[in-house]
Amino acid sequence: MGKVARFILRRKGGKGWHWTDVFTWVWLVGGLIIMFGPAVWLVFSSLKTPAALAEFPPSILPYVTSQATVEGYDKPLMLYDAKMPDGSTRVLAEVRRIGLVAQMVDPKAPGEIFKVNINDRAPVRTMSFATENYTEPFVHFDFLRYLWNSVFVTVVATVITLVVNSMAAFALSKYEFKGRSLAMLVILATLMVPLSVIMVPLYSIISTLGLFNSLWGVILPTVATPTGVFILRQYMLTIPDELIDAARMDKASEWQIYWRIVLPLTAPALAVLAIFSVVWRWNDFLWPLIVLSRRELYTLQVGLSIYSGELNVQWHFILAMTVVTMIPVVLVFIFLQRFITTGIAGTGLK
Amino acid sequence: MPLAPFDLPLKGGDRLGALSRLHMPSHFGGGETTKFDGNGGEDTTMTTPSLSAILMAPINAIMRIIDAPLRRLQKATGIGGMAAFFLAPNMLIFGIFVLLPLVINFVYSMTGGTAFFLSERDFIGGAQYSRLFECQNYLDPMSCQEDAFWTAVGNTFWFVVLQVSLMILTALITALILNRELAARSFWRAVFFFPVLLSPVVVGLIWKWILQRQGLLNFGLYQFGMDPYTWLTDRSWTFAATIGVSLWAHMGFYALIILAGLQAIPKDLYEAAEMDGTKPARVFWRITLPLLAPNLLVVVVLALIKSVQVFDEIYVLTGGGPGTSTLFLTQYIYETGFASALRNPGLAAAASILMGGVLVVLTLVQLGIGKRGENKGKR
């Protein structure tokens, strides 16, 4: 405890608390709670039963009221700690409730019925994880289908993005030709054209190409990212031209130079772009929402939003599916966060 | 799915090592350079077949097959032709999915009807634009023919103003704090960065769950003796929630960029100021802020552009409601163009062109200010 306290309360210098130290401390600890709290709350909530979710005030951890099968009753009965008239407490099972009075029996000796005021009893609760929230959507919803669609779109789009963008970046960094700066300018200018500006005509192009209601209609418009070309080109400019000239002298073809020299040397930048691309495509929402209108084609994001917008929201399933949707991104966050932060800090692009 | 061909550079460290050794000029003289023959060649530097080599075997084979016709192409067109070949796929996709829509958008906005194919739409000139601008009283959105459009414009305006100013403020404070000498600084940076990676749908659902009647917020307030309240049915609270949620989701991104700017400020300036006994407040206003200005400008531009297009997380959180209190421009375009029964793609295209115009103007204004600031600095 002492070590933790010293860690939490440590400050610059050690000459007492300047107001900026206090402010920093409040901001960081507040930030920790506000940034992680909601996600932690989501995970805890996703493990609760529907009954526990409907409760107010909610419990932090997932609890359920214990039940017991009592002889002479078909259904399992709820267990309560009941305060008896003589002041002792006993564990009783509720048979039925009439107004403010509950009729209860002792599970071990079900013959006698006790009448207990409902204010004199508290449910017996044990911690329990409702894992069926996670397993049932696989059966009841097309959850597996959505998961597969999302994985397919993410993986295929990322692979195509890497190939196409690195080829363009190679051409724009290692060849001298007319219109090179124009091509670069066009690519950078498209950074200013967001989806919301072109979504209506883009939709008509997708329908004309017969890609409406197809996962390829989601994949193709997103693969030629200007950000990707930009990152890769900046990196390829640092590869010395002598290397390429040496390969040409060894009779390497241009394709071999690209594939066997430039690409392996661009690996760090490719890795950054791959991580970005995975996060972008996994999180994509508006465009899949427009292109995919058949249930079996939904990606996770679209499926989740459609289910959560229904009149009778089954929150216990929605919350569990949200946690599953979050998992890849959290993994990226834990293991690859460093690449993303340096990527953003280096280019200012998301 | 087959393994991504680019797994090689990540996993096959040995291979990468062999190639990067080529950087060193001394090795060019030695016998260790990789040899390229006409048939694709064997890798002379690799001896033990590792797992990545086995996985890469089919991909390498494919690459060799691709190489043969490309050699012929190279012979026929020369190196210039190869440049075009490498550039073509990207430019083709750009052309079809970005530039072409941009052009078609203008045509669309000047045609009417509900059909999506251009040939089935009739030319109506500027009617869509005049419909958008048809108002009896320009201060009251309800008096306009397209009242939803003007409501969306008004909402978006207030959202942009409030969200961007709060965003810059909180991001700046966070970055300044993260720039102090903290223990476990990378941990704290990660804390604020965490929500940035979450998908907008997840963000929307998390907060919908927290703000509902049995949610965490009401639970917190209940501890202080307040009654539960349905926040998302109250117009002004919902609007405030949209700002708060988008702040939560994106603040870390901007804080990161500002932090990079702060760390680029030379340390000796601060040392000099300390020697002169300058007050910390004066150091902030005279050193930190002026030197951070170009960086802040980038952040403001990015935040403005993102904020004008706000859609995903808000759509999941509120669906634009209650009523039209959180209906923003992108949602208006989406619903006019696709979702509602009375869809009107031409009108949506006209609205999106207006929005694109605003985005371009915003960027140019900001870039202009940046240029002027730079020139001032030179004098």
More confident residue, B371 or A166: A166
CA distance A128 to chain B (A): 20
Domain borders along chain A are 2-46, 63-127, 134-347
Q: What tokens does B170 get?
A: 């909180």
Interface test with A, best of B6, B7, B332 (most A CBs within 10 A): B6
Mean pLDDT, to the nearest integer, of A208-215?
89
Q: What HEC string does A282-348 produce? A: HHCCHHHHHHCCCHHHCCHHHHHHHHHCCCCCCHHHHHHHHHHHHHHHHHHHHHHHHHHHHHHHHHC
Q: What 3-state DSSP class applies to A67?
A: strand
Q: What 3-state DSSP class applies to B193?
A: helix
Buried b / exposed e over B36-53, threshold 16 CB at 10 Å, is beeebbeeeeeeeeeebb
Q: What is the residue-averaged pLDDT of chain A?
A: 83
Interface of B with A in 279-298 (CB under 8 A): 280, 298
Superfamily grouping for domain B146-378: MetI-like (1.10.3720.10)
CATH topology for the A63-127 domain: SH3 type barrels. (2.30.30)
CATH code for the structural domain at A134-347: 1.10.3720.10
Q: Give per-residue pLDDT as tens, A262-280.
A: 999 998 889 888 888 988 8
Q: Let me know: does A52 contact A59? Beta carbons within 8 Å.
A: yes
Nearest to A168 by CA among A223, A129, A215: A223
Q: Give per-residue pLDDT as tens, B200-240.
A: 999 999 998 888 887 888 888 888 888 888 888 888 899 99
Q: Is the predicted ipTM greater than 0.85, yes or no?
A: no
Q: Give per-residue pLDDT as tens, A66-95.
A: 777 777 777 777 777 777 777 777 777 777
Q: What tokens does B278 get?
A: 């300058």
Interface test with A, best of B86, B212, B353 (most A CBs within 10 A): B86
Which burial class, exposed, middle or buried, applies to B127 when counting CB atoms under 10 A from its CB (0-12, 13-18, 19+)?
middle
CA distance A68 to chain B (A): 28
Inform me whether the pLDDT recorded for B14 exceeds 70: no
CB B93 to CB A224 under 8 A?
A: yes
User: B230 in contact with A at a CB cutoff of 8 Å?
Assistant: no
- Pick A271's closest partner by Cβ from B10, B82, B194: B10
Q: Let me know: does B120 contact B108? Beta carbons within 8 Å.
A: no
Q: Between A and B, how many CB-CB pairs are < 8 A?
A: 339
Q: How large is the C-alpha radius of gyration of chain B?
A: 28
Q: Give per-residue pLDDT as tens, B101-120.
A: 888 888 888 888 777 777 77
CB B19 to CB A265 under 8 A?
A: yes
pTM of the model: 0.80
- Pick B352's closest partner by Cβ from A200, A274, A318: A200
Q: What is the residue-averaged pLDDT of chain B?
A: 79
- Pick B15's closest partner by Cβ from A36, A202, A264: A264
| Residues 6 or more apart in contact with residue A279 via CB below 8 angstroms | A329, A332, A340, B197
- Pick A255's closest partner by Cβ from B4, B22, B67: B67
Query: A117-126, A167-176, B60-69: which has the minimum mean pLDDT?
Result: A117-126
More confident residue, A287 or A11: A287
How many residues are there in chain B?
A: 379
Chain A residues with CB inside 8 Å of B34's CB? 260
CB B67 to CB A163 under 8 A?
A: no
Residue spans of beta strands (DSSP E) within chain B = 111-112, 122-123
Mean pLDDT, to the nearest integer, of A304-310?
83
Q: Give per-residue pLDDT as tens, B254-280.
A: 998 898 889 888 888 888 988 888 888
CB A282 to CB B199 under 8 A?
A: yes
Q: Let me know: does A343 contact A337? Beta carbons within 8 Å.
A: no
Q: Categorize the per-residue pLDDT at B172 as very low, low, confident or very high, splitting at 50, 70 and 90.
A: very high
What does the alpha-carbon distance between residue B322 and residue B318 come to, in Å, rounded to a whole number? Answer: 7
Residue type, B63: M
Domain borders along chain B are 7-25+44-107, 146-378
CB B198 to CB A201 under 8 A?
A: no
Mean pLDDT, to the nearest integer, of A189-215?
85
Q: Let me know: does A191 contact A225? Beta carbons within 8 Å.
A: no
CB A264 to CB B66 under 8 A?
A: no
Determine the Cα angle at B238 with ends B232 and B240, to 5°. 145
